[in-house]
Structure 1
Amino acid sequence: MASTTTFIDIAATPEQVWQLIGGFNSLPDWLPYIPSSTLSEGGQVRHLANPAGQAIVERLEAYDNAARRYSYSIIAAPFPAKDYRSTLQVDAITGSEHARVTWSGQFTPVGVSEEEVTALFHGIYAAGLEALQQSLRK
């Protein structure tokens, strides 16, 4: 199983960051790669579309509002991976009013090397966190 983790420090309070990203249906609010999201199964499954119109379906696996963290798995997506589970978390940076946002994932490559699928998801996470930072600067 492959994995990757990336983080970004943001000049906003953890509460401000979590308010923007903490909803399981909030990806279109800050992630340009996901222009639409709809929930089903009582808010436990989100149906996403990327700019090419490809469907991505994800299941909420764990949600902890107090810890500002949620984990999800991919049910269906155009990615060369299976057994995908990811966590998005917001932490306070001690001694400041800033937040650290960490996005991590584990997955098994399908038809590609571990390096290729790791680079794919690491790129998605890093670009997503940069987009989050830009959204919070507005």
Structure 2
Amino acid sequence: MASTSVSRVVPASPERVWQLIGGFDALPDWLPFIPESTPLEGGRVRRLRNPEGDTIVERLVAFSEAERHYAYAILESPFPVTGYVSDLRVHSVPGKPEEAEVVWSGRFVPDGVGEADAVELFTGIYRDGLDALHRTLAA
């Protein structure tokens, strides 16, 4: 099983960050490469569409409002992996109440590609996503 993790300090309180990203169906609010999200099964599943028209279906597997995190599994996607589970977390930055650290991590089994290629793919997705979040919060 392969894994990757990216973290980024963003210019907003943990509460404000979580308010923006903590909803399982909120990706279009901050992630430009996911312009469409449709909640299914009472909000426990989301069907995402990227600008190219690809569909990604994900299931919420853990959620904690108090700890400001959720985890999800990919059920269907164009990605060359199986067994994908990801975690999105918001942490306080000690001594800096108007900043938060966001950590996006995932683990998966490469399928049809090498481990380094799969890790590079998701590292890039997480990095680009957290960069977009930073730009949204800094605006």
User: Into which bin does the TM-score normalised by the smaller protein fall?
Assistant: over 0.9
When the two chains are superposed, the root-mean-square deviation of aligned CA atoms in Å is 0.4
**1:14-25 map, 5 Å:** 14-25=14-25
Determine helix, strand or coil for the equivalent of 2:105.
strand
Structure 1 unaligned blocks of 5 or more = none
Structure 2 unaligned blocks of 5 or more = none
The match for 1:36 is 36
Structure 2 Cα separation of the partners of residues 115 and 85 of structure 1: 17
1:137, CA displacement in angstroms?
Answer: 1.2
**1:56-67 map, 5 Å:** 56-67=56-67
TM-score, normalised to structure 1, is 0.99
Name segments (4+ residues, structure 1) moved above 4 Å. none
**1:1-138 map, 5 Å:** 1-97=1-97, 98-138=99-139
Residue deviations 1:20-59, cap 9 Å, x none?
0000000000000100001011110000001100000000
TM-score, normalised to structure 2, is 0.98
Which amino acid letter does the alignment assign opposite residue 38 of structure 2? T
Determine helix, strand or coil for the equivalent of 1:7.
strand
Q: How many residues align?
A: 138
1:94, CA displacement in angstroms?
Answer: 0.7
- Give me the identity figure in percent: 53
